[in-house]
Amino acid sequence: MNFDVENQSITQFVFLSLGAIMEKDYPASAKEIPDEAMSYIRKLAVHAVRARGFSPELVAVVYDVDRTCIYRWLKQYDEGGYKALESHKPPGADPVITPGIAIWLKQTILESTPDKHGYDTNLWTGRILAELLKEKFNIDVSDSAVRLHLKALGLSCQKPEYQDDLRDKEEIKHFVEVKFPKIQQVAEKIGADIAFEDEAGVGVMTRHGRTWGAQGKTPVVPVSMQRGGYNVLSIVTAKGEMYYSIEDGKINGERFIEFLKEILKNRLRPLVLLVDHATFHKSKPVRDFVRANRTKIRVFFLPKRAPEFNPDEQVWNEIKNNRIGKQPVKGKLDLRFRLKDALESLKNNTQRVISFFRMPSTKYAGGCVA
């Protein structure tokens, strides 16, 4: 810093900083002066001695500090220049949550749920974690302090994905690593495309999303409370193809067969179809139809209780959560128009459908493009 050039502006800064304090009370000691202002006072004091030839005693009187401070600042300056006169925050007390405790905390959150620790919930909160820290390590921390620490550990509070606790992890692993590669071999052998099928209900009262409102007051959105809706069948492929059918009634084996006939009649290549364990998928009419049309279609089953491994599951996330759930649906007839529009839009968005095969749980199927 060039004090000969900046001396006036720095002095003004120091006096303005001190003036803000003095408007309330004159500082009883230099400890009450802001750190940034104190840094400049040290530099000005040293500059007055080294560059202007004033005695340390006189400078100490002018700045109302003990003369030993001036000599200490001069020593710091001689050893490290003006940078050595910068204010530094004290290191503070040792953290209550040590690195070892932090590792335990992160593992506990990521590898277990509160019910495994005696709580009647499976969702983590700051309060529960604070109680566990007290119980296990005898340390007292507030839930807000816990939340801040979790953010520092790279964690965040999120809406969880719920998984069936009866799912068989070994079955899922076997499907991804062994069964599906064999299905791919079958498809390659008969020159077929691989597709994934699913079905879901979409109702007039399907709701999803958030909106803005006054703090402390829940926003009110007028909507139709009419009952009713439709069932939808859909099929997607890793090429970005999509087929669908909107059904007014219940989906059974016979209706599923009609859906398959519609898809197969215009196809030039056979279809290898992966489906879930819905009862109608295993019904005798469906089994007979697949057996009678073996050159056109083969059906295999996805692992049980693992919907996230079906790329077609993302169709419902798109339609329900990103489209219909945010729209002002007026009734069942209005829903049908909106549902068809949303499905047609998605069907024509090839890249969006392809993205369903790039999810963490579906990327295993992303390479099944002939």
DSSP track, 26-94: --SSGGGS-HHHHHHHHHHHHHHHHTT---HHHHHHHTT--HHHHHHHHHHHHHH-GGGGS------SP
Q: In the prediction, which pLDDT does 94 show?
A: 57
Residues sharing a CB contact under 8 Å with residue 70, sequence separation 6 or more, in sequence order: 45, 49, 56, 57, 59, 60
CB atoms within 10 A of CB 45: 23
Helix (H) or strand (E) holding 356: none
Q: In the prediction, which pLDDT does 93 show?
A: 53
Provide the β-strand partners of residue 243.
235
CB atoms within 10 A of CB 102: 15
Backbone angles phi, psi at 183, to 5 degrees: -65, -40
CB-side neighbour CA atoms (13 Å) of 16: 7
Distance of CA 76 to the CA centre of its chain: 49
Residue identified by tokens 């277990």 is: 112
Q: In the prediction, which pLDDT does 14 show?
A: 47
Q: Could you tell me the CA-to-CA distances from 240 to 10, 157, 350 in Å, in that order?
A: 66, 33, 5
- φ/ψ region of 159 (left if φ > 0, alpha if ψ in -120 to 50, else beta) reads beta
Tell me if residue 293 falls in helix, strand or coil. coil
Q: In the prediction, which pLDDT does 95 show?
A: 65
Among residues 78, 10, 81, which one has the least CA distance to residue 44? 10
Pairing of strands 271-275, 242-247: unpaired
Determine the Cα angle at 340 with ends 335 and 342, to 5°.
Answer: 90
pLDDT in tens, the chain (370 residues): 454 444 544 454 444 444 444 444 555 555 567 777 788 888 888 998 998 888 989 888 888 888 898 999 899 999 989 888 887 766 655 568 899 999 999 999 999 999 999 999 999 999 999 999 999 999 999 888 899 899 999 999 998 988 999 999 999 999 999 999 999 999 999 999 999 999 999 999 999 888 888 988 899 999 999 999 999 999 999 999 999 999 999 999 999 999 999 999 989 999 999 999 999 999 999 999 999 999 999 999 999 999 999 999 999 999 999 999 999 999 999 999 999 999 999 999 999 999 999 999 999 999 765 5
CATH code assigned to 170-209+223-365: 3.30.420.10
Q: In the prediction, which pLDDT does 188 show?
A: 96
Q: Where are the domains of the chain?
A: 3-85, 99-152, 170-209+223-365
CA distance 198 to 276: 7
Among residues 291, 242, 297, which one has the least CA distance to residue 271? 297
Tokens of 118: 């005696």
Q: In the prediction, which pLDDT does 39 show?
A: 85
Tell me if residue 319 falls in helix, strand or coil. helix
Tokens of 262: 């519609």
CA distance 220 to 235: 37
Tell me if residue 247 falls in helix, strand or coil. strand
With contact defined as beta carbons under 8 Å apart, do 204 and 226 qualify? yes
Measured in Å, how far apart are the chain's first and last C-alpha atoms? 68
Q: Say which amino acid occupies 137.
A: F
This prediction has a pTM of 0.69
The helix, strand and coil proportions of the chain, stated in percent and rounded to the nearest 5, come to: 50, 10, 40
